[in-house]
Amino acid sequence: MSLETLAPWLAVLAKCVFSVAFVMQIVPLLIWAERKGAAYIQDRPGPNRADILGIRAGGLVHTLNDVVKLIMKEDIVPGHVEKRYWAAAPVISMTIALITFSVVPFGDKLSLPVGDKTFDVLMQVSSMDGGLLFVLAMTGIGVYGVMLAGWASNNKFSLLGGLRASAQMVSYELAMGLSAVVVFLMTGSVSLTKIAEAQSGAIWHWNVFSVPGFIAFLLFWTAAFAETNRTPFDLPEGEAELVGGYHTEYSSLRFALFFMAEYANMIVASAVTATLFFGGYNVPFLDGDAIREHADLILTVVGFGAVPAFLFFAFVAWKRRNRPFYRELKADDIRHREPKFFAAVWTGAAVAHGGLGLLGLAGIVGASPLGQDGVAFVLQLTALVVKVLIGCWIFIWVRWTVPRFRYDQLMDLGWKMMLPAALGNVFLAAIWVIVQTNFAN
């Protein structure tokens, strides 16, 4: 079999691996951000003691400790559970989160020369026309993992957690779906690829910068909190009422799957929200063609522009030697290596970006179509990652700021406020599109 025949299949495989890696690489970062964010909001240091060869990395090492701990803990299987369904539940939760990201575009295209041909590879695992419908379908199915865990645990607290999760899904899926209808009316498509393309160029092309789009965003984002069981909608696992809710009977790696699935759902929810309302992978005022046309100029500006920032970070890391924490350590304590290590890392990043700037000045990258596509892909992926991380930080910020709702408050918000508002916004969006179309003509 020739390479030209294999190339499309290899591209699909690479995109699948990238899609899973994209989510799974951000999960440890979010676990760290959750702890440090909570600490800063509560005016305390947070995790900052564990180290590897003297490198504490601001508490990132604690996340690695969690991995080792969960792997080494005993995997307890209670005798009273329905074993097959009980074991399948965490796998379902994690799998659905990873599958949902497969329809989120993380770039426009990449042209790969293979032999005498050139393949245009879409930067999306699946470019199905009904991508938005697929997201809503997976969101509804995702609750089955929680429901199954609650039922199969044969524990009244777990069962109540599963029932609460199903009630939340029904209540808030309606508002989420109607908010997605608004995006469909404004863009004329349920394909996430076309929705992202419709928001390219100027920042005011983003769906959030219209009246119905902004209302739809608020409703969709609120529903996303409920769908991911995040505070103030974490009733299915409310420890003050249900011990631990649906995952009370889980330990070791099975609990870790539920734990990671929550953060994976946060990432996917942020990515979908960014795609629907904030331009997705689009860089403000620069569409893909503009980036490719000015690849060398962009590489020069970004390369040299980042050097002062990285050198500043290196200076700050070096000055940390004088902080009270380091002054109180013994002279031979290996944790004195940390400021030097990060100063070297940031200096290396500055040198690397200086090299990118020189490549842009030399015109080497922009001279080839593959180099132009590479610059476009990196910029577009960076834009999506920044939007996703901002969304994830809002998830964390709200958790440590807003108290948990009572169950009746949760139901009232979903049925008495959000559902009528979402219905009214659909009519507003229809009127908005009619007026804009007639005005344009």
Give the model's pLDDT for residue 1. 58
Residue 224 confidence (pLDDT) above 70: yes
- Structurally, how many domains does the chain consist of? 2
**Do 347 and 373 belong to one domain?**
no
Query: Which of 362, 378, 408 is the endpoint of a domain?
Result: 362
CA proximity to 299, closest of 373, 360, 358, 350: 360
pLDDT for the residue numbered 383: 94
| Residues 418 and 344 placed together within one structural domain of the fold | no
**Structure tokens of 58?**
């601001």
**CB-CB contact of 109 with 120 (8 Å):** yes
Please say whether the beta carbons of 176 and 136 come within 8 A: yes
- Mean pLDDT score, 130-155: 87
Residue 434 located in a structural domain: yes
- DSSP label of 1: -
Query: Looking at the domain assignment, is residue 229 inside a domain?
Result: yes
309 and 431 in one domain?
no
Q: How far apart are CA 110 and CA 118, in angstroms?
A: 10
pLDDT at position 240: 63
Nearest CA to 33 among 392, 402, 384, 404? 392
CA torsion angle 279 125 90 229 (round to 10): 10
407 in the same domain as 353: no
**Last residue of some domain: 362, 391, 409?**
362
Whether pLDDT at 441 is above 70: no
How many residues are given for the chain? 441
User: What are the pLDDT digits (tens) for 349-374?
Assistant: 999 999 999 998 888 887 788 788 88
86, 18: one domain: yes
**Is there a single domain that holds both residue 320 and residue 354?**
yes
Task: Please tell me whether residues 96 and 161 are part of one structural domain.
Answer: yes
* pLDDT tens figures, 145-202: 888 888 888 888 888 888 888 888 888 888 999 999 999 999 988 999 999 999 988 8
Burial classification of residue 78, based on how many CB atoms lie within 10 Å of its CB (0-12 exposed, 13-18 middle, 19 or more buried)? middle
Distance in angstroms (rounded) separating the CA atoms of residues 179 and 173 = 10
| The most confident of 108-117, 222-231, 417-426, by mean pLDDT | 417-426
Q: 327-334 — which CB contacts under 8 Å span 24+ positions?
A: 333/54, 334/51, 334/53, 334/54
Shared-domain flag, residues 242 and 378: yes
Residues 422 and 307 reside in one and the same domain: no
Q: Identify whether residues 351 and 391 lie together within a single domain.
A: no
Which residue has tokens 């076309």?
Answer: 194
Q: Are residues 256 and 194 in the same domain?
A: yes
Q: Classify each residue of 242-266 as buried b or exposed e, where b means 16 or more C-beta atoms within 10 Å of its C-beta.
A: bbbbbbbbbebebbbbbbbbbbbbb
The answer to whether residue 289 is domain-embedded is: no
Tell me the pLDDT of the chain averaged across its residues: 87
* Residue 287 in domain: no
Decide which of 9 and 114 is more confident: 9
119 strand-pairing partners? 112
Q: Are residues 386 and 340 in the same domain?
A: no
Q: Which of 362, 390, 418 is the last residue of a domain?
A: 362
Domain that holds residue 194: 3-282+368-440
pTM: 0.92
